[in-house]
Chain A
Amino acid sequence: MAARAEADLRTRLQNWIPKLVLSPSLAMIFVFVYGFILFTLYLSFTDSRMLPSFGWVGLENYSKLWRLSHWEISLTNMGIFAGLYIVVCTVIGLMLAIFLDQKIRGEGVLRPLYLYPMALSFIVTGTAWKWFLDPGIGLENTMHLWGWESFSFNWIKDRNYAIYCLVLAAVWQTSGFVMAMFLAGLRGIDNEILKAAQMDGASNWNLYRRIIIPQLRPAFLSAFVILAHLAIKTFDLVIALTGGGPGRATELPATFMYSYTFTRNQMGIGAASAVIMLMTIAAIMIPYLYAELRERK
């Protein structure tokens, strides 16, 4: 019997090349993502101000952060913004999807019209809405010129209402995308189930409430996850639309972090706020990704 052959060169290469090819990407991810996360985490425990410094201060930045009214306002704003944004986007998206799914003539024209804002930069969206909502030249002025003298719409200048302008612009940008997600979900439902339900005498209302919408669960979940993570990351839109104002009326954690780190020279506190943002997103994304990756095995 011949001696047991070792793997030949080609086979051994074949075992190594794939890992070699993957390694630059992995190295980049490990350094620039996970390494940086650790670095920022570390900074959040230091007395860094304008530049990183390494004096350990424990949880001081976090306790300072939670005492800052500025941070509290941005969290409250985030609550209002994220809640409304997610709910309104989902409602509009689902409604448009259901309506479009009724064998609508011109669906091919309407769908891209609903979706194109997603291709725009938030800076462009912000610029457009900023002037549209501006009482001096925008909607209010137009209504006045059209003869509706008493019309008043100055939310964007109003501390109590400016956050809703943010919601409006953000919904305008992403609700079409949510519509597309739900439409894909609707089109994926087995038509025979619907026929069977109709044979059973279900009304349209019941058909949607009892049969179709429950089957869209995965689409709801995906929409929620995507919208939640977009909401937490919202930054450009605020900068372009309101600049965080009037006052602090539209400050969000993302803008808070940016201004504390780069303009107010409170890097330690900025890092702490970034860590909290990351943990919030991680709490949403990790279970979702875990479930998605497991399913596909």
Chain B
Amino acid sequence: MGFLDIRNATKSYGAVEVLHNVDINVEEGEFLVLVGPSGCGKSTLLNMIAGLEDITSGDIAIRDRVVNGVHPSKRNIAMVFQSYALYPNMTVGQNITFGLEMHGVPKPEREKAMAEVAKLLQIEELLGRKPGQLSGGQRQRVAMGRALVRKPDVFLFDEPLSNLDAKLRVDMRTEIKKLHQTLGTTIVYVTHDQIEAMTLSTRIAVMNDGYVQQLGSPKEIYDNPANLFVATFMGSPSMNLIQVKLRVEAEAAFADTTDDQGGKVSLPVCGASAALKSYKGQTVTLGLRPEALTDVEGADHRSDHVEKVQSMVTVTEPAGSDTFVTTTFGGTNCVARMRADADVHPGQRAEFAFNMEKAVLFDPKSGKRIV
């Protein structure tokens, strides 16, 4: 059993079940990110952990204590909200200590705890101000201070960075990560931003339609997505999906597709499993991340399975650090991530390098990855 256990938890509003049999165990000190599109149930799940929404069936336990039906203030959790939810009529200091006050902590102790947190977050000079006088980043810090001061078992973050501008968001992301590393706290963090999920988490739960689609480390999720939803949701630009026909010759398997002119392209699949071979002769979906489809010079030199294929360049999008090149394979648009100075031009054919070590294959009907 873990530190925070979600066992078979479901949530229904009337007859509509919005969260189906969620099972997640979070270890002490873990940073779990719940990620998914809006309406996937991630915020509902977070609110259930917080006690702000009740659990229809199943259990949630913190430190082996089942907390279903326990008031939010008695679960020893703290939450940072999307809007920060700072009490507008109180000063920063009062905001931070309000929870302690409500729990009957005597004033000297509150002051001491506040001073500690303020020092940690470097907001000492803000303590006398009202939230209305703070910038977005400062509010964010105060909101974290309010959570930290309680020394809770679990921190809950509900899209805390989505109200910040792009630059500040990156800075605060780093700070949250630093805080997690120094304090070693257990965090459950909700976001719709897959980059936040990748950078912050020790584990990610990708959610959609009220189901946990995949639970795993960022690397697992990114490299070995369990299904097409996870594959396309995580990563930007999203994974290229090419319809290929599976051909099996002796021990080797090949993914057959076409280039822009309908010419035959045959890509050897490395390490084909028996399960995969059973799809022999059928159409499957080949998934390849843009960084696994590059110019020849930019291809991963450690990979032994780089296939070079010519195709027509339709669009180039120089992004500074890379150039994204659009082309066509198997009748669908594919995006390749090339070096910034790759010599490609729209309307010309160029050589694309497929790193087949990174390729994953999906059953097009069920959407599940073929292992």
Contacts and interface: CB of A to CB of B under 8 A. Distances in A.
B61 interface: yes
Nearest to A7: B69
B8 to A, nearest CB: 11
A27 to B, nearest CB: 28
B68 interface: yes
Interface in B5-54: 7, 51, 54
A242 to B, nearest CB: 52
Contacts of A196: none
A295 B36 CA distance: 29
Interface residues of A, number: 11
B59 A1 contact: yes
A240 B70 CA distance: 62
Contacts of B71: 8, 10-11, 14
B228 interface: no
B101 interface: no
Contacts of B66: 1-5
State which size class the interface on B falls in: 10 to 19
Nearest to B67: A5
A5 B66 CA distance: 6
A10 B7 CA distance: 24
Given A6-B69, A7-B70, 16 more contacts: A1-B7, A2-B61, A2-B65, A3-B66, A4-B59, A4-B66, A4-B68, A5-B66, A5-B67, A5-B69, A8-B70, A8-B74, A10-B71, A10-B73, A10-B74, A11-B71
24 contacts: A1-B7, A1-B59, A2-B64, A2-B65, A3-B66, A4-B59, A4-B68, A5-B66, A5-B67, A5-B68, A5-B70, A7-B68, A7-B69, A7-B70, A8-B69, A8-B70, A8-B71, A8-B74, A10-B73, A11-B51, A11-B69, A11-B70, A11-B71, A14-B71
Nearest to B70: A8
Interface in A1-24: 1-8, 10-11, 14
Nearest to B51: A11
Contacts of B59: 1, 4
A61 to B, nearest CB: 45
Nearest to B58: A4
Interface string A169-211: 0000000000000000000000000000000000000000000
A6 B69 CA distance: 6
B44 to A, nearest CB: 18
A13 B69 CA distance: 12
The 8 A-B pairs with the shortest beta carbon distances in the complex, nearest first, are A7-B69, A10-B71, A2-B66, A11-B71, A5-B66, A8-B70, A5-B69, A5-B68
